[in-house]
Chain A
Amino acid sequence: MSKKESESGSAKSAGECTAGDTKDDKGLGLGVIFFIVAFVICFLSGTLLFPKLLYSKKEQPFNFDHRLHVEQTGDCESCHALREDGSFNGIPKLAKCQECHSETPLGETKDEAVFAEMYVAKEKEVPWYVYSKQPDCVFFSHAAHTKTKGMDCVTCHGPIGTSTTLKPYEENRITGYSRDIWGQNIWGIKKHSWDRMKMDDCAECHKKETGHQGYCFQCHK
């Protein structure tokens, strides 16, 4: 190689790096294919597989037939009631159940037998998983919504009163809260008002009903 060639590079070596070379086209094509495959796999994983990994399924201690209880008691408030001070009792305690139930089951279901034997007889509270449990940093008054404004339980909790079985409790492995807070749809898309219980859903309804989405301190006290 002459001195001149070595200073400016050889034509051959320059040609190997030129764009538009057929070898390069093939490389780019394979890159695109890899891109598309990876994209599709990751997108589908993120959409379909990710929720399965994110949530762990837990069974309730035993099944509870809401419809039967509503038929017997007449409404939700018989069990899920406001206390004298206006606070909400949430899931009723064993003592409330014992107003009707005793160690001798009223019906013949296997679930009631479990309840009578494992909890009533042992005077042990039932460790229900609560689908609507919110973080402790949120204040929420049921009285203000249901009593003062007359909202129906269904608006937020859905038609639980007509259900005969309890679905598995899906616990978010990161936060520890129920899947029902974010909603079943992993995109967070809802069809009904009760599909999600995130802050944005509160704000959306407040904006619609009161004209303002509310201030931080109203709930985060």
Chain B
Amino acid sequence: MKVDRRSFLGLGLGAVAGFSVSPVLLKLTDDSSIWTQNWPWTPVPVDGEVSYQNSVCSLCPGSCGISIRKIDDRPVKIEGLDEYPINDGGACLHGISGLQYLYDPARIKTPLKKNGDKFEEISWDDAISMVAGKLMDIRATGSPEKLACIADKDRGSVSGLLKRLVTTFGSPNFYTMPSFESYLELTATPLHGRGTTIGFDLENSDFVLSFGAGVIEGWGSPVNCFKANASRKERGAKLYQIEPRLSNTAANADRWLPINPGTEADLALGLCAVILKNNLFAGTAKFKGGFNKFSATLQNDYPLSKTSEITGIKESDIEEMATLFAKAKMPVAVFGKGRGDGSQSLKELIAVHTLNCLVGSINRKGGAFIQPVKNYLEFPAESLDGIAREGIAKPRLGRYVHDLVEKVNASSQPVVEALFVYQSNPCYALHDTKTIKQALGKIPFIVSFSSFLDETAKEADIILPVHTFIERLEDIPSGSGLAKTVVGLSKPVIKPVFNTKHPGDIFILIAKALDNAVAQNFEWVSYDKCLEAVAGRIWKSLAKDGHVILAEDVPEGSPEIDVTYLSGNPASVQSNGDGDLILIPIDNMRLPSAAMTASPFAIKTVSDEVLKGRDTVVEINPKTAKGLKNFDYVTLTTPVGSAKVMIHLNEGMMPGVVGMVKGLGHTFDNKYVSNKGVNINDLIGPVIEPGSGLDAAFGIKAKISRA
């Protein structure tokens, strides 16, 4: 017998036939179909028991109630909480993607200490003792005021503890980042007295005159504003939007009135002049501080023709607007350009609010509510030793954060020996970031209390990482121009994902590691116990219901209105530089621009006309474009810096103005949101308003040239 090719053919055929009639083919076909339908690398959510836990979102000052869906112990979804007094079931895109912050690539997983240019991991005990050791050294020099602190806000028990730590240590230098809440208090103080704030009853107003307030772009308490705006048509209420750009709010308004950037205060005063001249003001208001002088100044400084010339709005429109506003039943004028937390001119804020005062919209349904700042927390009286008393008696370095920065940069000796930065990102969010970083570079010891290794945390010497809002208990007071005042309770819905601590616990630990003079003011075992004690009056309801409404009705009585601040018509701020264009910031609902950074989900929702690939797209009017086409690269130059950007031609932008979105251009280690676009604060510098001392830069002169 000879083995030839037929034998091999027989062998092959036999093998094929053998396998064919065996279960191999049938089984492999079935298995491969299951495999291809369930790729092993595709994550499959773990099954478990579904439960819901209520909490409060503190990503922005909106303070919305949220319901968190959990599978076993793992939160998987955030939804708006039904019947919550602020948002009634609504939620914004940042709230619903809040869980992404838990696993953010930039999260700080354990305490860190800077060694050269790098951070190295240290234990909590070491970190606390290093901070306490440095603070004790400062105290020993008798200059406790050389400890400064920058926090996101000064309301609520966590900020209360931090402020208490700084005060009992002996420093008056506690600063907060600019916020809409702070502007409301700054506006109310000269007009209605110290300790007051303003809320706007948008839900009931029948005529909203908005001076650039992004009512549907994150202004105030965003979801509450969405709802108020959504019901506007049903209620027959009008919205007039005054701003240089056809924003979403302007497009949604009954009328958009483009105005020359930075002339909003002049328009508001011009409108006041028309109302006074035409006897349209409500005579019931209690004015003081030289009302007649104020009235005479307005008639003199703001005749219609001049207001029109300054603002670029037609005389007839100004007159019509003033008349409609004054004759409406429940009008309200709202201020705070964009989100309301950027730089603002106090003259503008007071001028706009004076419109409310003139037409009698104070403490009236649908108007502006003047109410005392609600202090629902009762901290025990502070016990200060001699060093602390001397320290806090010394003058602050300035009124605002930018004053602190300026003082540090101007001095050859360290005026600040140690800086605490709590939940804020001044190196990104303040104007002219280079000077901010320069100032922080001059401070010998910086402690960051942050959840993320952001631009400011990177400058720190020690980082004490804090829980995110989903991992911690905290009282969250509402504000941001809401007509009602609600304190919500944010609750831990997951065990801390990393080796982080509650900021309140960290402050207590630091205090206890200091000498007894400070430590005796922090006798609580933990932050939880502290909150329970200091929120004593409302704690039971807060713990049971998750929120307490402190005020919701129209405040009684009519407060005095002191027009002294405006009676001399203080000078308006001008934009710096000599360019032929004005660069103005744009607040986009999808891009947070303060301490919070956009989540990976949120940044994916930004349109190509804002961020194209990794390039910021700026908006200009076709008339200003001078032959440039959509998405051409240009170099945008301001006195502070320059950047390569793309342009988008937008007829909704006033000629001569360039609009750039805020919230892009992060530079820390987060592949989802960093290195995308330009940070506008690298291009705009502060402009200090005389009188208020605020950074009131509404923009900056700029030039563009083809890149």
Contacts and interface: CB of A to CB of B under 8 A. Distances in A.
* A and B held together in a complex: yes
Interface of A: 23, 26-47, 50, 54, 83, 85, 87, 89-90, 93, 135-137, 172, 174-177, 182, 186-188
Interface stretch (B32-40, B242-250, B642-650): B32-40
Contacts of B16: 42
B354 to A, nearest CB: 56
Nearest to B44: A136
Contacts of B2: 23, 26-27, 30
Given A31-B7, A50-B27, A39 B35 contact: no
Nearest to A46: B22
A146 to B, nearest CB: 17
Contacts of B9: 31
B11 interface: yes
Nearest to A189: B23
Contacts of A172: 31
Contact of A35 (B13, B23, B38): B13
Interface string B5-34: 011111111111111011110111011101
Contacts of A33: 10
B38 A39 contact: no
A170 to B, nearest CB: 13
Nearest to B23: A186
Interface string B451-462: 000000000000
Contact of A46 (B7, B11, B24, B37): B24
Contact of A31 (B6, B45, B49): B6
B14 A42 contact: yes
A87 B45 CA distance: 15
Contacts of A54: 27, 31
B18 A30 contact: no
B34 to A, nearest CB: 4
A58 to B, nearest CB: 16
Contacts of A182: 27, 30
Contacts of B4: 27, 30
Contact of B18 (A42, A83, A176): A42
Contacts, number: 116
B525 interface: no
A176 B40 CA distance: 8
A42 B23 contact: no
B47 interface: yes
A87 B23 contact: no
Contacts of A29: 1
B35 A175 contact: yes
A135 B31 CA distance: 12
7 contacts: A32-B10, A34-B8, A34-B10, A38-B18, A39-B14, A174-B32, A174-B34
Main secondary structure of the interface of B (DSSP, over half): helix
Nearest to B6: A31
Contact of B49 (A23, A32, A47, A83): A83
Contacts of B230: none
B3 interface: yes
Nearest to B17: A39
A29 B2 CA distance: 10
B201 to A, nearest CB: 40
Nearest to B11: A34
Contacts of B24: 46, 50
Contacts of A31: 6-7, 9-10
Contacts of A85: 50
A135 B45 CA distance: 11
A154 to B, nearest CB: 23
Given A30-B10, A43-B21, A44-B18, 7 more contacts: A32-B10, A34-B8, A38-B10, A43-B18, A54-B31, A135-B37, A174-B35
B560 interface: no
A34 B7 contact: yes
Given A34-B8, A42-B14, A175 B38 contact: yes
B14 A27 contact: no
B72 interface: yes
Contacts of A93: 72
9 A-B pairs closest in CB distance: A46-B22, A42-B18, A38-B14, A31-B10, A35-B14, A35-B10, A34-B10, A46-B24, A39-B14
B29 to A, nearest CB: 11
A30 B3 contact: yes
Nearest to A36: B14
B19 A42 contact: yes
B38 A37 contact: no
Given A31-B7, A136-B38, A177-B34, A26 B14 contact: no
Contacts of B27: 50, 54, 182, 186
A217 to B, nearest CB: 15
A50 B27 CA distance: 10
A47 B22 contact: yes
A68 B6 CA distance: 63
A182 B30 CA distance: 9
Contact of A47 (B10, B13, B23, B38): B23
Contacts of A30: 1-4, 6-7, 10
Contacts of A38: 10-15, 18
A199 B2 CA distance: 51
Instruction: Point out which of A38, A41, A136, A187 has the most chain B C-beta atoms below 10 A from its C-beta.
Output: A38
Contacts of A175: 31, 34-35, 38
Given A31-B9, A34-B8, A39 B31 contact: no
A34 B1 CA distance: 12
A90 B2 CA distance: 64
A85 B52 CA distance: 12
Nearest to A43: B18
Nearest to B9: A31
A70 to B, nearest CB: 23
Instruction: Point out which of B14, B37, B44 has the most chain A C-beta atoms below 10 A from its C-beta.
Output: B14
